[in-house]
């Protein structure tokens, strides 16, 4: 005869069963549960501030609810906030920009919002703050974001979106390591 379980034991069993089911469902091609795997990767990123974390979590929620265009746009906003803060957090990086682009009037991270993202990536490369491959990757992410942000024929799938979010996390981690 089975022993009686406490409500806590039943809740723990149910949570474990739900997690295992989500992992199984994540193996299916079109399953929104695949976002769970990406969420686990995301949680390894520890370099985000509260605003970036909130934006990235919102992008993951968009992906869970099949709002793929929104996930692209929101995650790119998190990336750009990270890039702005990444430049401003290091006096050497910020000084290079201030010295070579005095007309920009940059004194803090939020001042970078006045600059075009594409141009900022080129400037970072020109000042040797990022590599050529990083610049091209960031510009590619921007192009994909633009396809999602403006009325186009592009309709990203779950695979497109998960790949985009994964690439976003890798680029943030690479910049954070510099």
The model's pLDDT over 104-160, given as tens digits with 9 standing for 90+, comes to: 999 999 999 999 999 999 999 999 999 999 999 999 999 999 999 998 788 998 889
pLDDT of residue 41: 58
**Could you tell me which residues come within 8 angstroms of residue 77 by beta carbon, excluding any fewer than 6 positions away?**
55
65 within domain boundaries: yes
133 within domain boundaries: yes
Residue 107 domain boundaries: 34-177
DSSP secondary structure, 147-169, as one string: HHHSS-S----HHHHHHHHHHHH
The model's pLDDT over 74-110, given as tens digits with 9 standing for 90+, comes to: 999 999 999 999 999 999 999 999 999 999 999 999 9
Max Cα distance, the chain (Å)? 80
The model's pLDDT over 29-66, given as tens digits with 9 standing for 90+, comes to: 445 555 555 666 566 667 788 999 899 889 988 988 88
Over residues 165-171, mean pLDDT: 89
28 within domain boundaries: no
19 within domain boundaries: no
DSSP state at residue 47: -
- Domains contained in the chain, number: 1
Check which CATH number belongs to the domain holding 164 and give it.
Answer: 1.20.120
151 within domain boundaries: yes
Contact indicator for 112, 87 with CB cutoff of 8 Å: yes
77 within domain boundaries: yes
76 within domain boundaries: yes
131 within domain boundaries: yes
């Amino acid at each position: 005869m089975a022993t009686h379980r406490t409500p806590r034991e039943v809740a723990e069993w149910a949570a474990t069963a739900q997690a295992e089911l989500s992992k199984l469902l994540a193996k299916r091609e079109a399953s929104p549960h695949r976002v769970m795997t990406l969420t686990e990767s995301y949680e390894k990123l520890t370099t985000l501030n509260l605003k970036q974390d909130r934006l990235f979590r919102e992008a993951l929620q968009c992906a869970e609810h099949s709002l793929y265009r929104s996930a692209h746009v929101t995650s790119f906003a998190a990336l750009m906030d990270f890039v702005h803060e990444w430049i401003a957090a290091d006096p050497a990086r910020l000084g290079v920009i201030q010295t070579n682009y005095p007309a920009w009037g940059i004194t803090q991270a939020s001042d970078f919002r006045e600059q075009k993202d594409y141009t900022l990536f080129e400037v970072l490369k020109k000042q040797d703050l990022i590599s050529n491959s990083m610049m091209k990757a960031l510009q590619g992410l921007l192009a994909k974001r633009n396809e999602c942000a403006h009325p186009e024929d592009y309709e990203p799938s779950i695979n497109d979106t998960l790949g985009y979010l994964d690439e976003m996390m890798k680029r943030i981690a690479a910049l954070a390591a510099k």
